[in-house]
């Protein structure tokens, strides 16, 4: 059976079924739906470079316990390197189970669970982190072929699969330059705690340096942090925001906006901090 077929069919909860952690949804019960997606939406790397993508769950459920996710990719473009539990599980005080499997050359299966009676994690946040290495020029979507999420009682919730993450491999070291007049501002992870990487992609001459400012604002439009002021190269640059204000104090949970400005271009990106 091809890996793509395995992705569509999914995989039984083999590792945890033996632990009797996955009862079936009772007949006639209505499953609450939770959203699951991959971030960042687009990542650009050169052959030989590695990148990390994150599987996120939304805040539709008050709490969850276990999650299994099967993802597909093009093995001619990238190779799978490693996976680990995401921030939601890593921060949990309960004992944890984590399992990794590669059912085919073009898919990876990750499973995580908190153990113990009515143990739980509180969404939204990052379920899994997966690392890939670029092989050759091209692009591939990291697609969620199957996702299963259980609530605190180990009852399976309904799932709504959101965006896939796309990895674009270029032959140009340091990433590609966006078309003239365009640019991109993104970040990962998002939501985040305690820090996030802000990715700026600027158009122009690959050898050029562009006067640039990046600032973080709160939902009311007040400046929280002047993150960068200087010259940035055309193409891709990364800036770390540690979730702190200009004075160095940790800011509270909430919605923030990163704004990048050059003489000709203004870009925005919404950031969600969850303490």
Q: Which pLDDT score, from 0 to 100, does residue 9 have?
A: 40
Domain hosting 220: range is: 184-273
Q: Please state the domain count of the chain.
A: 2
Q: Which pLDDT score, from 0 to 100, does residue 219 have?
A: 86
Residue 106, domain member (yes or no): yes
Query: In terms of domains, do 62 and 135 share one?
Result: yes
Q: Which pLDDT score, from 0 to 100, does residue 180 have?
A: 54
Count other Cβ atoms within 10 Å, centred on residue 26.
7
Query: In terms of domains, do 160 and 216 share one?
Result: no
Query: In terms of domains, do 121 and 157 share one?
Result: yes
Nearest by Cα to 236 from 196, 194, 187? 187
Task: Give the domain CATH number at 138.
Answer: 2.60.40.680
Residue 144 in contact with residue 57, Cβ under 8 Å? Answer: no
Q: Which of 141, 169, 197 is the last residue of a domain?
A: 169
Greater confidence (274 vs 99) lies with 99
Q: Which of 169, 197, 214 is the last residue of a domain?
A: 169
* Strand ordering across the sheet containing 96-104: 42-45, 165-169, 138-149, 66-72, 107-114, 96-104
Mean pLDDT of 5-25: 40
Residue 120, domain member (yes or no): yes
pLDDT of residue 28 exceeding 70, the answer is no
Query: In terms of domains, do 149 and 249 share one?
Result: no
CA distance 43 to 167: 5
Query: In terms of domains, do 152 and 267 share one?
Result: no
Task: Give the domain CATH number at 268.
Answer: 2.60.40.2550
Q: Which pLDDT score, from 0 to 100, does residue 252 have?
A: 93
Residue 74, domain member (yes or no): yes
- Tens of pLDDT, residue by residue over 156-207, are 999 899 989 999 887 654 444 555 557 888 888 888 888 899 989 888 766 6
Mean pLDDT of 83-89: 91
Mean pLDDT of 22-32: 48
Distance of CA 80 to the CA centre of its chain: 16
Query: In terms of domains, do 123 and 15 share one?
Result: yes
């Amino acid at each position: 059976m091809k890996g793509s077929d395995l992705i569509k069919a999914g995989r039984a909860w083999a590792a945890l079924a033996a632990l009797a952690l996955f009862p079936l949804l009772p007949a006639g019960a209505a499953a609450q739906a939770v959203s699951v997606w991959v971030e960042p939406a687009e990542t650009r790397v050169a052959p030989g470079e590695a990148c990390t993508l994150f599987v996120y769950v939304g805040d539709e459920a008050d709490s969850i316990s276990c999650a299994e996710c099967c993802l597909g990719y093009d093995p001619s473009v990238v190779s799978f390197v490693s996976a680990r539990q995401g921030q939601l599980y890593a921060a949990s005080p309960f004992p944890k189970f984590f399992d990794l499997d590669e059912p085919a050359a073009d898919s990876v299966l990750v499973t995580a669970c908190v153990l113990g009676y009515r143990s739980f994690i509180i969404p939204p946040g990052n379920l899994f982190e997966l690392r890939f290495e670029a092989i050759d020029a091209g692009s591939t979507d990291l697609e969620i072929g199957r996702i299963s999420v259980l609530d605190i009682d180990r009852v399976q919730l309904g799932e709504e699969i959101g965006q896939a993450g796309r990895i674009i491999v270029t032959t140009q070291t340091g990433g590609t330059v966006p078309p003239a007049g365009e640019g991109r501002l993104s970040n990962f992870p998002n939501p985040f705690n305690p820090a996030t990487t802000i990715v700026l992609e600027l158009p122009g001459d690959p050898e050029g340096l562009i006067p640039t400012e990046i600032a973080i604002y709160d939902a009311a439009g007040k400046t929280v942090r002047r993150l960068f002021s200087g010259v940035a190269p055309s193409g891709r640059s990364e800036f770390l925001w540690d979730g702190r204000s200009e004075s160095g104090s940790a800011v509270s949970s909430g919605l923030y906006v990163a704004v990048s400005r050059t003489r000709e271009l203004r870009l925005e990106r919404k950031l969600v901090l969850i303490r």
